[in-house]
Amino acid sequence: MWLLAGLIVLLAILPTVNAATIGYRFDRNTVVPTEFGDEIINGHPANLTLIITTPDGKPFNASAFPDPANTSISVTVQFMIGDQVVDVTGDGNPDVFVAVEDPSNPGQYKVTINTSARPGEYTMRVHAIATNSNTGQILDEGRLDVDVYISDPYWVTTWCKEGDEIKIGSLSLKIDTVNDRGAVLIMGGSLVNLSRDNTTGLIYRKVDLDGDGIATDWMFIKSDKDTGLTEVKFYSRNPGILGGDEDNVTVSGNKVVRTTWLKDRNRYRVVILWDKSPFSWIKAEDYYIIPAKNPRCWKEGWGRGYSGKVTVIKRTTWFNFISTDEKVFEGNIFGRNVKIDKTLDLFGRWFGNKARFGWGWEVWRGIARLVYPKDYQLKFRSAATVSDLEFRGDLTLKSVNWDAILQGTEGKT
């Protein structure tokens, strides 16, 4: 009983600290918004506005407290990984960004955040505190944690098997093994061991992609259990990494393996798999691989969320006269292997992304890897309407809305 009474007295004499309320908004012209949250881009200042109020709704500044002359206000922004404040400017020291009150808007604080950090997810922590400068007593404080992503303005992803060679920019490397402990690579003829980061569990390394001898770009490696492949990402401030692979082709036995672009900046092209088998005059099965033309179908975010809408139409024609059309696939091909009948394997092998401030990421160059029988011929069309395509058959018994698919208006009212 006496212990309880003493505790009550102690709580009564301790200063009471209320929790200030913090709201925030980024200037949309200085960050890249995505469905996963905002992305801060290295080398591009991000402008952040904080709106802070006391528990009774007053602007969070000295005038909201009984002794304004002796009230000190501090509003700071830091970046966290786990419980640790980290360096995001590249100077080797944990960073503190100080927000300044807008003299025209009491309780509104502004700060510009400049980063030069390893790409990845961070917790942005905002801390507002009002203190009596004479006694050190905390009068009020509030905290806000926001998940953000810090990235370079360009990134490229590729998927490969162990033993495959990857070439991007001036860098050439071969993946030896990837496991729970890390990865083993062959770079420049040397064996390189990479361990997982103790805090994040990620496998990464700084690399040189432009050949100037300075490693300023980032490479991340992880095993993708869904595809059974190894996913390798490269982040850079150099737009040159968006070039990706040029079209190339190899023939193995009865199969052709070909990489070819579907989207290159603002250009889109249809790839036609044209049946040239000996009995195609009796029954021909042609495939039309059509990339969506709306840039919003090619958006990314937070180093994931692979997008890139592709539609595949199969056209079956008998005796070069009667045809039927069938939509056999519609969706994203990047990071997944799409098997269509026993004829076509389709895989989005490479793509480059470019940050578009205020709008989002855009897949800048989307490249497909196709595996198909060698008695098929590939044809390419920059098609705007159905009249730009090549078809067999004069009589179509069952068709699709080709123009709507080509123009990206299918399903819209």
Q: For residue 32, with 0-12 CB atoms within 10 Å meaning exposed, 13-18 middle and 19 or more buried, which class applies?
A: buried
State phi, psi for 295 to the nearest 5 degrees. Answer: -55, -25
Residue 137: its H or E element? none
User: Residue 302 has what pLDDT?
Assistant: 92
Quote the CA–CA distance of 310 and 290 in Å, as a whole number: 6
Measure Cα distances from 161 to 18, 175, 222, 230, 307 in Å: 56, 8, 12, 6, 21
| Domains defined along the chain, listed by start | 14-150 (2.60.40.10), 154-241 (no CATH), 244-407 (no CATH)
Give the CB-side neighbour count of residue 260, counting CA atoms within 13 A.
22
Instruction: Extract the residue ranges of the chain whose pLDDT is less than 70.
Output: 1-18, 244-246, 409-413
User: Residue 297 has what pLDDT?
Assistant: 87
Three-state DSSP class for 267?
Answer: strand
User: Residue 245 has what pLDDT?
Assistant: 61
Give 173-185 pLDDT, tens digit per residue: 999 999 999 999 9
Query: Within 214-357, where are the H helices?
Result: none
User: Residue 192 has what pLDDT?
Assistant: 95
Give 237-266 pLDDT, tens digit per residue: 999 888 766 678 999 899 999 999 999 988
Do 149 and 200 touch, CB atoms closer than 8 A?
no
Q: How many CB atoms neighbour CB 97 within 10 A?
A: 19
User: Residue 6 has what pLDDT?
Assistant: 39
Quote the CA–CA distance of 130 and 309 in Å, as a whole number: 51
Q: Which residues pair with 379 in a beta bridge?
A: 272
Measure Cα distances from 135 to 15, 61, 66, 313 in Å: 12, 18, 14, 75
Q: Which residues pair with 108 in a beta bridge?
A: 51
Do 207 and 218 touch, CB atoms closer than 8 A?
yes
